[in-house]
Structure 1
Amino acid sequence: MTDTQRVNIGKQHPAPYKTLLALSAEVESAAAAAGLDPLLVELLKIRASQINGCAFCLRMHTRDALKKGENPDRIAVLPAWAETGYFSDTDRAALRLTESITGVSDGQVSDEDYDAAADVLTAEQISAVAWLATVMNAFNRVAVTSRYPVRS
């Protein structure tokens, strides 16, 4: 690791960061209006952050999920969600779509992943999940690029 001090891009250019925060608030409202459970919303943020290796966002959204009443077991098994009985069909569809969007650098969102989501989620929910993943991926990139500190 380098000794070079990283620029905190959110502080260096606060206007775009504030815009991202405002977009996040709009997306949260859209998710609520689409009927997505607030606990699922936090799990989607956690899952995207796990894939992106963003310790800062992982800690923040895990704490948020626990404060909202999420079961610690569901958080613990989240990377292996498809192998457990902890998640509803809605949860599974949203998690699969979030993973596909987050991993878009490995290829496009596949028809198989999209169709699996469309079998369970409404158009409004698909859109909300896609926006949640998009915004969370943006926040992950801000935090990882700036190396937001994560200490005990």
Structure 2
Amino acid sequence: MTPRLEYFAAAPKLMQAMLNLEKVATGSGLEPGLIGLVKMRASQINGCAFCLDMHSREARRRGETEARLYLLNAWREAPHYTPRERVALAWTEALTLVDRSQAPDADYAALAPHFTEAERVALSLVIVTINGWNRLAIGFRSVPPLAPDTVPEAVPDTVPGAASRATPVAAA
């Protein structure tokens, strides 16, 4: 995939406004781990490879467990998340998929025992912001950087009955 546009260079003042919103939303007092899960979940739903790469690296640096990162797509079935995280993830899905969900009353009501009114606003702005970043990254085809440890030299052929061999990965 070839990037379409370097949007920070093309519109620095506009991007600074986006960065300012990000800074205010993420600096609102919500736990960094919760914010990270919300960003990862929205990015999974939106299919944003650039943001998934960035936020999974950030999560690991914060000490997030691999299991919680791997199971995030199935958070409803996994016992790895707190009740506060669960309602935040449900709200993330509701707002990210707002065209389908219309932000159900039940999802909003579930926030009240776990989040103050100000925290609900902050959480919603974190969700709004990551959805905006996802749309910028996807729309302008931002490509996650390739680190040397992320691309195997060969991918094994797993076709049943095929001879055991390795297929080289094409160079980027």
Displacement of 1:10: 3.2
Greater gyration radius: 2
Alignment correspondent of 2:18: 20
Q: In the alignment, which of 43, 57, 73 is matched to residue 49 of structure 1?
A: 43
How far the C-alpha of 1:11 sits from its partner, in A, is 2.5
Q: Which residue of 2 aligns with 1:109?
A: 103
Taking CA–CA contacts closer than 8 Å with sequence separation of 6 or more, which of the two structures ends up with the larger relative contact order?
1
**2:5 aligned partner:** 7
Contact 1:100 1:113 in 2 (8 A): yes
Report the counterpart of residue 66 of structure 1 in structure 2. Answer: 60
The question of 1:128 aligning with 2:126 is answered no
SS in 2 for 1:83: coil
State how far apart, in whole Å, the 2-side matches of 1:127 and 1:136 are: 14
Partner AA of 2:119 in structure 1: Q
> Among the aligned pairs, what percent are the same residue?
36
Distance 1:103 1:52 in 2: 9
The unaligned stretches of length 5 or more in structure 2 are 147-172
Superposed displacement of residue 37, structure 1: 1.9
Contact 1:96–1:117, Cα closer than 8 Å, also in 2? no
Q: Corresponding residue for 1:93?
A: 87
Q: Secondary structure at the match of 1:109?
A: coil
- Secondary structure at the counterpart of residue 6 of structure 1: coil
CA RMSD after TM alignment: 1.6
CA distance in 1, matches of 2:103, 2:127: 12
**SS at 2:64's partner residue?**
coil
Q: Which amino acid aligns with 1:72?
A: E
> Deviation at 1:150?
2.3
Q: Give 1:151 deviation, angstroms.
A: 4.6
CA contact (8 A) 1:6 1:147 kept: yes
Name the structure 1 match of 2:153.
none
Identify the residue that residue 75 of structure 1 maps to in structure 2. 69
